Amino acid sequence: MNAPTEPRETTDPDEILRAVLDPERRGALYPWLHRLRELAPVHPSEGLHVPGGFVLSRYEDIRAVLRHPQAFSDERNADIFDVGEAGAVFTAMMRKQILYLSPPDHDRIRALVARHFTPRAVERWREAAEREVERLLDAAVARGKLDLVKDVAYPLPIAVICEMMGIPKSDVPLFFQWAHDFARRGDVAALTPDVIRRGEEATAGFRDYFLGLARERRKQPKDDLLTLIALARDARGPLTDDELAATCVILLQAGHETTADLISLGIRGLLLAPRELHRLRAEPGLMPDAVEELLRWDTSVQISQRRSRVELEIGGQRIPAGATCVLLNGAANRDPAQYPDPDRIDVGRSPRDHLAFGLGRHRCLGASLARVEIQAAIAAILRRFPRLDFDGEPAFRGSFFLRGLASLPLRG
Ligand code: HEM
């Protein structure tokens, strides 16, 4: 069935969900989300590939679910990835990632790694991030061409997390391919047999690699995150092999495309709002607030899921026990009831309550690290390119679930 052409003309919320998933419409996502919020803010639908789903688009309702003591993320939320035997290795690993675990397993694994991602702990990596951005920009300038996505946004987060974890630089190119294939497999709206097969290979590759490196670190500990994870113990003992591999993969994967996306979507946003760009250049002290505003304005992780353990009443509508709430983070961040004039970027707005990093038990573990990397990248780009501008059309990736750019050519 064809998706509609104009959000305003549309009265069927499921048509809107089809438009939202349409890879051709990435540039103009938010008018559709506004229309969905107006028409059906709590909408029972499987249109986003979630069985038994209720799609929520109001800030207040989404926050209520994220804070609800009886709404959980659990391994059944990973059912969204289940394509049977052909994709079983990937699905099994997703079920073990902390994002899909409920307490006590979730809290136990999160507690083992969280202390390495506090704002204080990640400050130690700011200099490494700044150094890496300069190096990447030097290389692009020497080539005489800058595609922000390929040249800076993609390589930066993976370089930083690999350095944190203690992964040798020579292995980074291998990770690039696995990370790419793993991320594509996560886009359940665009699966093909080839994407599924590559996802299986990437998962098995990651698993063997991390288990091998963990064995080495147990024999010969180093000053890196992998050693800390390999040696971590609590009252129940060390992490199992499945838990260890899944935790290493989520640390690498959850912070890779997401952070890359925010760097390039953020620069795109600033170029579309030249007065705000000028304001930020004039007042560089606004950078932390500006980054929060850019995270609010356009974000990578567009959906979160929570399963209701009891009947919930959200936004005046009943959601039965056992249903899955599909939370549209991007729609929440543009809700006019929460943020006046939500489509406008205001680098002084300071929207500290935005939902780009989620909220509650599963709030983003790497938020402070992402902030450091995004701030470092945007600051360096603005400093080094005083006449920064588009040098061609930005191209969006196809995915709705993980929104981002495939390329952003710039000149400066
Ligand atoms: C701008 C970049 C990032 C964005 C937009 C982002 C977004 C999110 C969101 C929305 C969640 C919550 C998902 C949910 O509740 O269903 C989340 C969870 C998570 N993020 Fe991030 N993230 C980013 C960067 C990072 C980085 C750099 C890391 C680590 C190196 C990371 C690691 C994680 C982990 C481990 C979780 C799961 C936490 C849990 O289940 O307890 N993220 N992220």
Quick one: pLDDT at residue 87? 95
- Tokens, residue 94: 């997703």
Alpha-carbon gap, residue 186 to 85, rounded angstroms: 16
How many angstroms separate the alpha carbon of residue 369 from the centre of ligand 1?
10
Helix (H) or strand (E) holding 237: strand 237-238
Residue 411 DSSP class: E
Higher pLDDT, 368 or 236: 368
Domains and CATH numbers, the chain: 41-411 (1.10.630.10)
Whether 274 shows a pLDDT value over 60: the answer reads yes
Confidence of residue 376 (pLDDT cuts 50, 70, 90): very high
- Per DSSP (E only), the strands in 158-214 are none
Alpha-carbon gap, residue 177 to 77, rounded angstroms: 26
Please state, as a whole number, how many other Cβ atoms lie within 10 Å of the Cβ of residue 137.
20
Is the C-beta atom of 262 inside 6 A of ligand 1? Answer: yes
Task: From 81, 100, 125, 258, give the residue whose CB has the most ligand 1 atoms within 8 Å, as the site to mutate.
Answer: 258
Quick one: pLDDT at residue 99? 92
Q: Are residues 355 and 62 in contact, defined by beta-carbon separation less than 8 angstroms?
A: yes
Please state, as a whole number, how many other Cβ atoms lie within 10 Å of the Cβ of residue 347.
24
For 291-328, the pLDDT digits (tens) are 999 999 999 999 999 999 999 999 999 999 999 999 99
Quick one: pLDDT at residue 25? 81
Q: How many CA atoms lie within 13 A of 279 on its CB side?
A: 14
Looking at every residue in the chain, the average pLDDT score rounds to 93
Quick one: pLDDT at residue 300? 95
CA 198 to each of CA 168, 176, 202, 205, 330: distance values in angstroms, whole numbers, following the listed order: 23, 13, 6, 10, 29
For 131-178, the pLDDT digits (tens) are 999 999 999 999 988 999 999 999 999 999 999 999 988 888 888 889
Q: Which of 206, 291, 215 has the alpha carbon at shortest distance from 253?
A: 206
Residue 3 DSSP class: P
Is the C-beta atom of 324 inside 6 A of ligand 1? Answer: no
Average pLDDT over residues 254-268: 94
Residue 402 DSSP class: B
User: Percent helix, strand and coil across the chain, each rounded to 5?
Assistant: 60, 10, 30
Alpha-carbon gap, residue 133 to 207, rounded angstroms: 29
pTM value? 0.94
Whether 4 shows a pLDDT value over 80: the answer reads no
Quick one: pLDDT at residue 24? 82
Quick one: pLDDT at residue 187? 84
Higher pLDDT, 180 or 138: 138
For 83-119, the pLDDT digits (tens) are 999 999 999 999 999 999 988 889 999 999 998 999 9
Quick one: pLDDT at residue 150? 95
Alpha-carbon gap, residue 202 to 181, rounded angstroms: 6
Alpha-carbon gap, residue 222 to 165, rounded angstroms: 10
Q: Are residues 394 and 405 in contact, defined by beta-carbon separation less than 8 angstroms?
A: yes
Residues 6+ apart with CB under 8 A from 358: 66, 301, 304, 329, 364
Whether 213 shows a pLDDT value over 90: the answer reads yes
What is the Cα gyration radius of the chain? 21
Q: Are residues 393 and 400 in contact, defined by beta-carbon separation less than 8 angstroms?
A: no
Task: From 298, 305, 365, 375, give the residue whose CB has the most ligand 1 atoms within 8 Å, as the site to mutate.
Answer: 365
The answer to whether the Cα torsion of 7, 10, 13, 14 is positive or negative is: negative
Confidence of residue 208 (pLDDT cuts 50, 70, 90): very high
Confidence of residue 2 (pLDDT cuts 50, 70, 90): low
Is the C-beta atom of 65 inside 6 A of ligand 1? Answer: no
Q: Which of 225, 255, 248, 27 has the alpha carbon at shortest distance from 154?
A: 255
Is the C-beta atom of 301 inside 6 A of ligand 1? Answer: yes
Whether 1 shows a pLDDT value over 60: the answer reads no
Whether 71 shows a pLDDT value over 60: the answer reads yes
Is the C-beta atom of 161 inside 6 A of ligand 1? Answer: yes
Whether 261 shows a pLDDT value over 80: the answer reads yes
The label of the residue with tokens 């971590």 reads: 232
CA 150 to each of CA 25, 155, 232, 386: distance values in angstroms, whole numbers, following the listed order: 22, 7, 35, 21
Is the C-beta atom of 77 inside 6 A of ligand 1? Answer: no
Alpha-carbon gap, residue 280 to 86, rounded angstroms: 49
For 20-61, the pLDDT digits (tens) are 998 888 778 999 999 999 999 999 999 888 888 999 999 999
Residues 6+ apart with CB under 8 A from 321: 308, 309, 310, 311
How many angstroms separate the alpha carbon of residue 99 from the centre of ligand 1?
8
73 by DSSP, 3-state: which?
coil
104 cis-preceded (ω within 30 degrees of 0): yes
For 382-400, the pLDDT digits (tens) are 999 999 999 999 999 888 8
Q: Are residues 343 and 30 in contact, defined by beta-carbon separation less than 8 angstroms?
A: yes
Task: Please identify, by atom number, the ligand 1 atom nearest to the C-alpha of residue 370.
Answer: 27
Q: Which amino acid is at 230?
A: A
Quick one: pLDDT at residue 326? 96
Whether 3 shows a pLDDT value over 60: the answer reads no
Residue whose Cα lies nearest atom 32 of ligand 1: it is: 366
Lowest mean pLDDT among 1-5, 192-196, 374-378: 1-5
CA 41 to each of CA 70, 156, 308: distance values in angstroms, whole numbers, following the listed order: 21, 37, 17
Average pLDDT over residues 257-266: 96
Confidence of residue 246 (pLDDT cuts 50, 70, 90): very high
Higher pLDDT, 268 or 73: 268
Alpha-carbon gap, residue 152 to 405, rounded angstroms: 12
Average pLDDT over residues 265-283: 97
Q: Which of 190, 156, 195 has the alpha carbon at shortest distance from 176?
A: 156
